[in-house]
């Protein structure tokens, strides 16, 4: 899962470490050259006053002083600001080196960070997310010192983990804990476009809840699409779950309301309500969703899309959240996604967490989204 993204992140780690180590070697060589030059000068140098006197043995003392001053002036040249800055930077790094430490300079990271930025964009990571990741890494690493006994790779790895977690773990909450603490029944509505695995995700989540001791009833609020009843009814039959459904063209809010009444009467913990696949620009379907929210007042609204949709999934998540505020997301087909752009970006652009990843066709193929586990997998070798 997300193997392509992992490879690109690994390449940045390698490039950054190599660049820092090369810079440290240059400082070491410059320091050695400076020491050698100092020793040579101290061995062969003759005091300036002595040379002046030997050149003018009969000269008056004032003349000798003038000659010394002229010699000093002629040996000096106007300093170049760029050279001064470079020399100051080199001196600072040499001082750190002398203390047994290597300091990471911004120049060391310039090329690796540029390559990382391009790599993330090519993996469908959203632009603002890329900017935050790159800036966080830069802020964490520039000026950082390490001992000779420490690995540059471990410092880069820590910075990468911090940067990725800062964008992936936005708004995280414990899904099961929220349900267990809430007044029953808990009503969860699912939204998203057609064909992304929304109905199958509902069935998977019903099985996930059952595995954790929570009962559920399915409600088909997708009265718009022909065949929707048959699709969700098959899932309900396979899982031995109760399904509440009306005829095609019925009122979606009425269907889910009936499911809530059934759950209350039968001590069912969770109502899982499907809705018609819609675009945020579909006014009639969005008005249906608004009516469901007025009539039922769901505890959670969950957005569903495909991980493999990349930037499209990110854009849809943003627009759905604007049109009808979501509480979290499920990304399907994560097992088939090499790029990882949606998984990296959705939480950051919506401010709402990814709750689950769909990882296959079976009812058990759903995983709770764990930002720390994902980042560890992406960053570690």
Confidence of residue 330 (pLDDT cuts 50, 70, 90): very high
Task: Please report, rounded to a whole number, the percentage of residues in the chain having pLDDT higher than 70.
Answer: 75
Q: Between 336 and 286, whose confidence is greater? A: 336
For residues 363 and 347, membership in a common domain is answered with yes
Q: Is the pLDDT of residue 291 over 90?
A: no
For residues 33 and 95, membership in a common domain is answered with yes
For residues 114 and 202, membership in a common domain is answered with no
Say what the alpha-carbon torsion angle 78, 83, 84, 85 is, to the nearest 10 degrees. 150
Q: Which two tokens stand for residue 295?
A: 């009539």
pLDDT of 94: 42
For residues 11 and 54, membership in a common domain is answered with yes
For residues 159 and 188, membership in a common domain is answered with no
Give mean pLDDT, residues 260-276. 95
Give mean pLDDT, residues 308-318. 91
End-to-end CA distance of the chain: 15
Q: Is the pLDDT of residue 55 over 60?
A: no
Q: With contact defined as beta carbons under 8 Å apart, do 313 and 346 qualify?
A: yes
- Identify which of 91-95, 96-100, 266-270, 325-329 has the greatest average pLDDT: 266-270
Report the predicted TM-score, pTM, of the whole model to 2 decimal places.
0.78
Q: CA-CA distance, 23 to 27, in Å (whole number)? A: 6
Mean pLDDT of all residues belonging to the chain: 81
- Domain-embedded: residue 379: no
Confidence of residue 65 (pLDDT cuts 50, 70, 90): low
pLDDT of 25: 58
CATH (domain of 123): 1.20.120.140
For residues 324 and 229, membership in a common domain is answered with yes
Q: CA-CA distance, 350 to 326, in Å (whole number)? A: 9
Q: Is the pLDDT of residue 244 over 50?
A: yes
Long-range pairs for 145-153: beta carbons < 8 A, 24 or more residues apart = 145/96, 145/101, 145/102, 145/103, 145/104, 146/101, 146/102, 146/104, 147/100, 147/101, 148/100, 148/101, 148/102, 151/17, 152/16, 152/17, 152/20, 152/21, 152/102, 152/104, 153/13, 153/17
Q: With contact defined as beta carbons under 8 Å apart, do 317 and 333 qualify?
A: no
φ/ψ of 319, rounded to 5, equals -70, -40
What is the residue range of 105's domain? 3-168
pLDDT of 327: 95
For residues 195 and 295, membership in a common domain is answered with yes
- Domain-embedded: residue 102: yes
Q: With contact defined as beta carbons under 8 Å apart, do 102 and 96 qualify?
A: yes
Whole-number CA gyration radius for the chain: 33
Strand 354-358 vs strand 366-368: parallel, antiparallel, or unpaired?
Answer: antiparallel
pLDDT in tens, 163-202: 999 999 988 999 999 999 999 999 999 999 888 999 999 9
DSSP state for residue 353 in the 8-state scheme: -
Q: Between 279 and 362, whose confidence is greater? A: 362
For residues 141 and 252, membership in a common domain is answered with no
Q: Between 23 and 17, whose confidence is greater? A: 17
- Domain-embedded: residue 230: yes
- Domain-embedded: residue 13: yes
DSSP state for residue 270 in the 8-state scheme: E
Q: Between 22 and 186, whose confidence is greater? A: 186
pLDDT of 75: 46
Counting Cβ atoms within 10 Å, is residue 76 exposed (0-12), middle (13-18) or buried (19+)? exposed
Task: Please report, rounded to a whole number, the percentage of residues in the chain having pLDDT higher than 90.
Answer: 48
CATH (domain of 259): 3.40.50.300
Q: Between 231 and 78, whose confidence is greater? A: 231
pLDDT of 90: 44
Give the domain-ending residue among 99, 134, 168.
168
pLDDT in tens, 82-106: 555 444 444 444 444 443 455 677 7
Say what the alpha-carbon torsion angle 178, 179, 183, 189 is, to the nearest 10 degrees. 110
Q: Is the pLDDT of residue 356 over 70?
A: yes
């Amino acid at each position: 899962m997300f193997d392509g993204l992992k490879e690109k992140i690994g390449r940045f780690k390698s490039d950054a470490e190599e660049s820092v180590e090369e810079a440290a070697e240059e400082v070491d060589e410059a320091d050695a050259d400076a020491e050698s030059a100092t020793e040579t000068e101290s061995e062969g140098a003759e005091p300036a006053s002595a040379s002046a006197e030997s050149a003018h043995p009969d000269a008056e003392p004032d003349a000798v002083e003038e000659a010394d001053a002229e010699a000093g002036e002629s040996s000096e040249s106007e300093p170049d600001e760029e050279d001064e800055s470079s020399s100051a930077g080199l001196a600072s790094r040499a001082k750190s080196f002398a203390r047994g430490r290597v300091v990471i300079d911004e120049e060391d990271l310039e090329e690796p960070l540029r390559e990382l930025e391009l790599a993330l964009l090519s993996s469908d990571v959203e632009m603002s997310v890329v900017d935050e990741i790159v800036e966080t890494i830069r802020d964490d690493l520039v000026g950082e010192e390490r001992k000779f006994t420490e690995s540059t790779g471990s410092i880069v790895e820590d910075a990468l983990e911090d940067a990725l977690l800062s964008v992936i773990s936005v708004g995280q909450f414990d899904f099961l804990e929220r349900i267990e603490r809430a007044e029953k029944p808990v009503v969860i509505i699912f939204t998203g476009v057609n064909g992304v695995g929304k109905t199958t995700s509902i069935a998977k989540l019903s099985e996930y809840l059952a595995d954790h001791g929570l009962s559920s009833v399915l409600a088909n609020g997708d009265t718009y699409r022909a065949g929707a009843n048959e699709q969700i009814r098959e899932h309900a039959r396979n899982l031995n779950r109760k399904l509440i459904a009306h005829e095609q063209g019925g009122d979606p809010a009425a269907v889910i309301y009936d499911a809530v009444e059934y759950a209350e009467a039968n001590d069912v913990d969770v109502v899982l309500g499907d809705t018609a696949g819609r675009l945020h620009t579909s006014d009639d379907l969005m008005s249906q969703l608004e009516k469901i929210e007025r009539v039922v007042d769901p505890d959670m609204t969950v957005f569903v899309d495909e991980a493999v949709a990349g930037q499209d999934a990110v854009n849809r998540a943003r627009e759905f959240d604007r049109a009808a505020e979501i509480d979290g997301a499920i990304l399907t087909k994560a097992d088939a996604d090499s790029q990882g752009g949606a998984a990296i970006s959705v939480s950051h652009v919506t401010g709402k967490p990814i709750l689950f990843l769909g990882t296959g066709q079976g009812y058990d193929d759903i995983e709770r989204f764990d930002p720390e586990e994902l980042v560890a997998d992406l960053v570690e070798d």
